[in-house]
Amino acid sequence: MHRDDLADIARRFRTRFRRRLDRADIALHLHRDEAGAYLLGEVYLAAALAGREPGPTGNTHHAAVPHGVYPAAGDDRWIAVAVHDDSGWRHLADALGWPPDPALDTLAGRLAARPMTDAEVREASKKDEAEKPTRSQTAKAA
């Protein structure tokens, strides 16, 4: 959820509340940065514990590899891929026809090999059309 989404929810809540009470003088204030702070609490905490500012992470995730938006076949077409567990990784690798690699069977292994894994997923995704579900896009964890 994005901080603008939270601000939009607050506006909708205010509107419904005003209608319900039939009062236009009710105000609800939610600053965008306050909404952002709610979403970034773990980043603030990690920065305080590490003693340094957090850097950009792009589309990566600390507990999912691969995790990103990759190019698909066609002009300006994209596929989102997120693998959150070892079972999901096995299903993705099977769907793409990749041979088993014990080094990538665990999250720790995939985190260590993130650049290589992202490059391989990027190459494989270029063969799929974003509008048509394929084996790789519909592979589900058992």
pLDDT digits (tens, 9 = 90+) for 75-88: 888 989 999 999 99
55 within domain boundaries? no
Residues 36 and 73 in one domain: no
Q: What is the pTM of this model?
A: 0.61
Residues 72 and 98 in one domain: yes
Task: Please report the pLDDT score of residue 117 as a whole number.
Answer: 95
Specify the number of domains making up the chain.
Answer: 2
Residues 42 and 13 in one domain: yes
60 within domain boundaries? no
Count CB neighbours of 69 within 10 A. Answer: 13
Phi, psi of 101 (to 5 degrees): -135, 105
44 within domain boundaries? yes
| Whole-Å CA distances, 23 to 9, 14, 16, 107, 129 | 19, 11, 10, 53, 51
35 within domain boundaries? yes
Residues 44 and 74 in one domain: no
Residues 79 and 118 in one domain: yes
Q: Show the domain range for 107.
A: 67-138
Check: CB of residue 78 under 8 Å from CB of residue 130: yes
Residue 135, classed as helix, strand or coil, is helix
Check: CB of residue 113 under 8 Å from CB of residue 89: no
User: Of 82, 87, 78, nearest to 125 (Cα)?
Assistant: 78
37, two tokens: 């702070």
Residues 41 and 86 in one domain: no
pLDDT digits (tens, 9 = 90+) for 95-105: 889 999 999 99
Count CB neighbours of 11 within 10 A. Answer: 12
**Which stretches in the chain have pLDDT values below 50?**
136-137, 141-142
Task: Please report the pLDDT score of residue 141 as a whole number.
Answer: 42
Residues 30 and 86 in one domain: no
58 within domain boundaries? no
